[in-house]
């Protein structure tokens, strides 16, 4: 209700990058769809209070649309309060973490529960999660996939930074605005080179030998 009543949200991973309420609600919906459509019942029972979990897993029809919703969970509005409660509870258990990387760890547990290997999920898989999701959730998704990414992807997506790049362009560049490509500068390649050097600097410094 606080998200709905407010113009922006600045909790958890949104603290350093406040987002419009509509984008945060879109994030909750996107995560809720993953829960309702993919999360195994055994895992759901471990994460959700027993009474809500059992009400959600029950197949008792309470409306003409319940059967259709059960056949395609997550692709239409949940017909029962318990279904919505499960989706929102699981989504907020991720989005209420105190930062992007802690939220990424929580999301990683969800992704591992719905896929046998994280390598089955790509950095761009989130593009199919629905419209309107925020760049913060894109960053959380990248943080979740960190253990399965190649070294080059660590640089491309700035994984070691506080805010991994949610929408990468060419290697070493990024754009935090969904669907927007990096602008070309008057000198092609200069921006990409600059950003790549800055990204690599953060990786190289910890391995530099001490000064003699």
The model's pLDDT over 52-96, given as tens digits with 9 standing for 90+, comes to 999 998 876 555 555 555 555 556 678 789 999 999 999 999 999
On whether the CB atoms of residues 57 and 19 are closer than 8 A, the answer is no
What is the 8-class DSSP label of residue 8? E
- Give the other-Cβ count within 10 Å of 7's Cβ: 8
Mean pLDDT of the chain: 77
The model's pLDDT over 4-23, given as tens digits with 9 standing for 90+, comes to 898 999 999 999 999 999 99
As a residue count, the chain comes to 212
DSSP reduced 3-state for 96? coil
- The first and second tokens of residue 192, run together, are 């990409």
User: Global pTM?
Assistant: 0.71
Query: For residue 48, which of 91, 89, 78, 81 has the smallest C-alpha distance?
Result: 89
φ/ψ bin of 77: left (φ > 0), alpha (ψ from -120 to 50), beta (otherwise): beta
The C-alpha atoms of residue 9 and residue 18 are separated, in whole angstroms, by 5
What value does the mean pLDDT take over residues 90-110? 95
pLDDT of residue 90: 94
């Amino acid at each position: 209700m606080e998200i709905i009543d407010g113009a922006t949200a600045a909790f958890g991973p949104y603290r350093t990058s406040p987002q419009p309420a509509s984008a945060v609600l879109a994030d909750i919906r996107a995560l809720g769809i993953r829960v309702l459509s993919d999360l195994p019942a055994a895992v759901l029972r471990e994460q959700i209070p027993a009474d809500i979990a059992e009400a959600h897993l029950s197949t008792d029809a309470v409306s003409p649309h319940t059967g259709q919703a059960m056949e395609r969970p997550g692709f239409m509005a949940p017909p029962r309060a318990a279904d919505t409660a499960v989706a929102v509870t699981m989504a907020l258990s991720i989005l209420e973490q105190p930062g992007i990387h802690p939220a990424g760890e929580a999301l990683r547990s969800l992704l591992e529960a719905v896929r046998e290997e994280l390598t089955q999920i790509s950095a761009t898989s989130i593009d199919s999660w629905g419209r309107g999701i925020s760049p913060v959730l894109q960053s959380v998704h990248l943080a979740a996939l960190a253990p399965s990414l190649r070294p080059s992807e660590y640089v491309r997506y700035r994984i070691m930074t506080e805010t991994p790049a949610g929408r990468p362009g060419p290697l070493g560049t990024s754009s935090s605005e969904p669907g927007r490509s990096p602008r070309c500068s008057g000198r092609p390649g200069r921006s990409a080179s600059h950003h790549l050097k800055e990204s690599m600097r953060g990786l190289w410094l910890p391995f530099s030998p001490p000064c003699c």
